[in-house]
Structure formats: C-alpha cells, structure tokens
C-alpha cells in the first residue's frame, strides 16, 4: 500500500517533507521528519498531523505573496543538496551497514550546512523544539554555498578549494570523509537516469592525509580522568575509560558493550551493534569497577522507573539510557578540562599533561578517548606480550598494532636502557669486557 500525504515522501517507512521550486523559493526547506527529542521517525499519524498543518502554512504563504511565485530556473536535476538527498535515499546507500550510512549522512551534513559551535547547535535545537510544539516552520540552519550549486559546476579547482576550506573549518579527517561522500554521490549520479552527470572531478585527484596519531595516556593521566569523571557526577565516563584501558575496544563499541558475565575466568562482553562476543580475562581492577558500575545502573533504573535494568555497561546518568557518541564526546571533553585544571572542591589533582603540542602538526592538542585503545596496545607491549597476544585482546590488525608499537618503542627510554643492559651482559658472557 502506498501512503500519500501532501509534500511528504516515504523512503522505506521514513517520511521526508519535500517541496517544489515554488515552495523552496518562498523559504520552505526539505527535511526528514523525526522527533527532535528522541530522533525517532514520525509515524503515519505524526506525519499526517504535520502535513495538515504544513499545507495550511503553504496556503497562507501563497496568499500573502498575492500572486504565484515564479519558480527559479534550476538545472534539470537540481542542486548538490538535491543530489546528496537522492544518493542517500538510493539502495546503493540504504543497503549498506548502518554505521556506513550514518557516516555518509554526517559527511553530507558537513557539505550542506555551515559549521556551528556547540552552543549555537544547542540554541538551534531549542528553537526547533519550540517551533515543533507551535507547529511553525522550523528555523533554517545556515547553508554552505556548495548546497545551492549545480553538480555540473564542480570541477577539480572547486573540489580542491572545498577540501582546503573543510580542512580549515571541519578538520582534516572530516574534510577527507566529506570529499569521499561527494565523490561517491557524483559517481552515482553518472549512472542515475535522473541526473546523468558527465564526469566526477575527484578521479585522479590526490588529497593529503593526516599523519598517524599515536598518543599514550600515562597512568597518572588515566587516574586524573577517572577522578574528574567521578567528581563531576559522571562515573559512567570513568567506566568507559576503564574499559578502554583494560579491553582496548573502540569507543563506539565500548558504549554499546553488554556484560554477559564471567566464563572460565574471562569476562564476556557482547557488542550490541555487531553482536560480536569479546572474551577477555578479567583483571581485579576492572572487576571492581564493573561491579560498581552495575550497582549504579540498577540505581538509575529505579530513578528513571525503568521496567528492566539496561544490559549496557555505560549508562548516561542524565537520561538513564546508553550514550550516543555525540553526547559522550562532549561530556568526555568536559571531564578532560576538569582533569587538566584540577579542582579543590571536589578534590581533583591538576594534570596539565593531558594537553600537549602534537609533534605531527606542531599545534596544541589534547588527549582523546580514542587514545585509550592505542594506550592498551602499548601497555600490553610494555608488559612483555607478543604481537599476536596483543591483537587477540584488542582486535587490532597485526599491521596496525605493529605500527603503534613501533612509534611508541622509539620513545621508550626505559626499554632502550634495558636493551643495552642485556647487550652488555651478553657481550660479557662472550668474553668482551
């Protein structure tokens, strides 16, 4: 059965309000229909209620204009924003793994919308919620010039300028991801019967990649981060830090880990996103922290009157639900700032080494949650484990783990001293004094 509502298109049960040139020229914008508070897609009833209000808004807009608004002349297939929308809705994208789809959507937003600070984003979300309650048109977010360009106008010079702009304003990694997403959309457009694009300027272009980042979080820094998290009333962040040091799992996986208990001395974790089982020998430090975390999760279940206790280990104290990566990243940054500056009330010893100058870029940098994974590799190596054992624990490929250890070993003076001592002892046995 095909569900039809004015100005609303359905894509695999996900509604999106889509306007024609006339409505767009009057200021109406296309957007997905999702609840701002939860991110859940509108049901049919939600979408119908929205459509009834929206069509009245459009009628009022037309009456206020007094005459029919002349549609702006567009390229046959539309703008870069239209291309990205069509590409993201295509089976070539929707059939990918959810993580890949989310990554492409994030890159597309970076191409369409201008960057905004965390404060500005928070203000915008508040205004969006208010507009949704009032049934008013949502406030428009400022868009990049690229969004209104036609794809045919993008050549190699424009793509190079776009990369440099994104690199300066979004960061090196996001610039590369955005260029890759735009390139994929342009290639898809060449085979689309609607778009029939002629070429993809990304072909044969090369973009520099950032130097590999390998940063060690020292034990005093680890303790400072955990102490700061506990002092802020965010022990869940400390739990995630513990899991990072003792399991070496990625941040996204740690936020979704489910504790399935102890089996033959190994703690079994289930990645809720992939379903993969991670079995790691339990350490006394992690066992103690996990027990405390489970008690806290039970208390949160009572506080939020949850019917069942969440299976996930890391639960946000503010919502009673697992963290999303965006919220976790910002809370971790706040914890890190407290750990850097320290505090007398509550007592947190300052740890300024969490901020440093990055040797690769020569720019100020700070230690990130993602550095916990590399730190686990380096600590396992320092403890005398071989490469195969380290990869069995952390899930790294042999090549990536070897690169991490190679980078770290070059800086480990204690290991170098021990190696020389062994050399002297060996040569002494061989008769060289």
Looking at the domain assignment, is residue 433 inside a domain? Answer: no
pLDDT tens string 145-183: 999 999 999 999 999 999 999 999 998 989 999 999 999
2: pLDDT strictly greater than 60: no
Looking at the domain assignment, is residue 115 inside a domain? Answer: yes
Give mean pLDDT, residues 401-424: 73
Strand partners of residue 348: 343
Check whether residue 259 and residue 378 sit in a common domain. yes
pLDDT tens string 335-346: 999 999 999 988
Looking at the domain assignment, is residue 390 inside a domain? Answer: yes
Number of domains in the chain: 3
- Sign of the dihedral defined by the CA atoms of residues 152, 156, 158, 160, in that order: positive
Check whether residue 239 and residue 280 sit in a common domain. yes
The domain boundary residue, chosen from 47, 73, 99: 73
**Burial per residue of 146-185, b for 16 or more beta-carbon CB atoms within 10 angstroms, e otherwise:** bbebebeebeeeebeebbeebbeebebebbbbbbebbbbb
pLDDT of the residue at 73: 43
pLDDT of the residue at 69: 47
Would the pTM count as exceeding 0.75? no
Q: For Cα atoms 392, 381, 402, give the angle at the middle one, nearest 5 degrees.
A: 70
What does R_g of the chain's alpha carbons equal in angstroms? 26
Check whether residue 58 and residue 110 sit in a common domain. no
38: pLDDT strictly greater than 90: no
Check whether residue 81 and residue 19 sit in a common domain. no
**Burial per residue of 72-93, b for 16 or more beta-carbon CB atoms within 10 angstroms, e otherwise:** eeeeebbbbbbbbbbbbeeeeb
43: pLDDT strictly greater than 80: yes
Looking at the domain assignment, is residue 145 inside a domain? Answer: yes
Looking at the domain assignment, is residue 216 inside a domain? Answer: no
Looking at the domain assignment, is residue 215 inside a domain? Answer: no
Cα–Cα distance, 10 to 89 (Å, whole number) = 10
Check whether residue 46 and residue 94 sit in a common domain. no
pLDDT tens string 256-313: 888 888 888 788 877 655 566 778 887 889 889 999 999 999 999 999 999 999 989 9
Domain CATH code at residue 386 = 1.10.443.10
Strand partners of residue 355: 366
Report the chain's mean pLDDT, rounded to a whole number. 86
Check whether residue 371 and residue 266 sit in a common domain. yes
**Among 41-50, 107-116, 189-198, the least confident range:** 41-50
187: pLDDT strictly greater than 60: yes
Range of the domain at 42: 1-73
Confidence of residue 42 (pLDDT cuts 50, 70, 90): confident
Check whether residue 188 and residue 330 sit in a common domain. no
Confidence of residue 433 (pLDDT cuts 50, 70, 90): low
pLDDT of the residue at 34: 83
Percent of the chain topping pLDDT 90: 45
Give mean pLDDT, residues 71-81: 62
Looking at the domain assignment, is residue 363 inside a domain? Answer: yes
pLDDT of the residue at 183: 96
Check whether residue 57 and residue 154 sit in a common domain. no
pLDDT tens string 79-132: 999 999 999 999 999 999 888 898 999 999 999 999 988 778 888 878 877 777
pLDDT of the residue at 415: 64
Give mean pLDDT, residues 212-221: 88
Looking at the domain assignment, is residue 343 inside a domain? Answer: yes
pLDDT of the residue at 120: 82
**Burial per residue of 8-46, b for 16 or more beta-carbon CB atoms within 10 angstroms, e otherwise:** bbeeeeebbbebeebbbeeebeeeebeeeeeeebbeeee
DSSP tag of 151: G
């Amino acid at each position: 059965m095909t569900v039809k509502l004015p100005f609303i298109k359905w894509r695999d049960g996900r509604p999106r309000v889509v306007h024609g040139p006339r409505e767009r020229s009057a200021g109406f914008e296309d957007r997905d229909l999702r609840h701002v508070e939860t991110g859940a897609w509108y049901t049919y009833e939600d979408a119908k209620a929205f459509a009834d209000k929206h069509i009245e808004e459009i009628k009022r807009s037309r009456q206020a204009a007094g005459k029919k608004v002349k549609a702006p002349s567009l390229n046959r297939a539309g703008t870069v924003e239209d291309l990205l929308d069509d590409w993201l809705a295509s089976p070539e994208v929707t059939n990918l793994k959810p993580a890949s789809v989310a990554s492409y959507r994030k890159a597309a937003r970076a191409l369409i919308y201008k960057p905004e600070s965390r404060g500005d984003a928070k203000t915008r979300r508040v205004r969006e919620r208010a507009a949704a309650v009032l049934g008013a048109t949502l406030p428009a977010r400022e868009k990049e010039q690229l969004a209104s360009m036609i794809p045919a106008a993008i050549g190699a010079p424009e793509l190079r300028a776009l990369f440099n702009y994104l690199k300066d304003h979004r960061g090196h990694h996001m610039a590369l991801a955005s260029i890759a997403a735009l390139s994929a959309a342009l290639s898809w457009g060449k085979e689309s019967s609607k778009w029939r694009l002629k070429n993809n300027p990304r072909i044969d272009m090369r973009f520099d990649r950032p130097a590999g980042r390998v940063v060690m979080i020292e034990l005093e820094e680890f303790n400072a981060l955990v102490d700061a998290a506990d002092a802020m009333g965010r022990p869940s962040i400390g739990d995630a830090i513990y899991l990072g040091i003792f399991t070496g799992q990625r941040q996204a996986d740690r936020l979704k880990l489910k504790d399935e208990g102890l089996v033959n001395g190994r703690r079994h974790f289930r990645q809720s996103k992939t379903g993969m089982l991670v079995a790691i020998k339990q350490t006394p430090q992690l066992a103690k922290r996990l027990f405390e975390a489970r008690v806290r999760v039970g208390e949160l279940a009572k506080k939020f009157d949850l019917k069942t206790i969440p299976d996930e280990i890391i639960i946000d104290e503010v919502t009673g639900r697992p963290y999303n990566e965006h919220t976790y990243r910002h809370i971790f940054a706040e914890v890190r700032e407290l750990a850097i500056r320290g505090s007398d009330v509550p007592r947190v010893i300052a740890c300024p080494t969490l901020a440093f100058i990055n040797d690769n870029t020569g720019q100020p940098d700070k230690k990130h949650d993602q550095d916990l994974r590399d730190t686990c590799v380096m600590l396992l190596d320092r403890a005398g484990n071989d490469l195969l054992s380290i990869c069995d624990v952390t899930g790294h490929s042999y090549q990536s783990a070897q690169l991490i250890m190679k980078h770290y070993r070059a800086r480990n003076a204690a290991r170098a001293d021990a190696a020389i001592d062994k050399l002297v002892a060996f040569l002494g046995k061989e008769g060289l004094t």
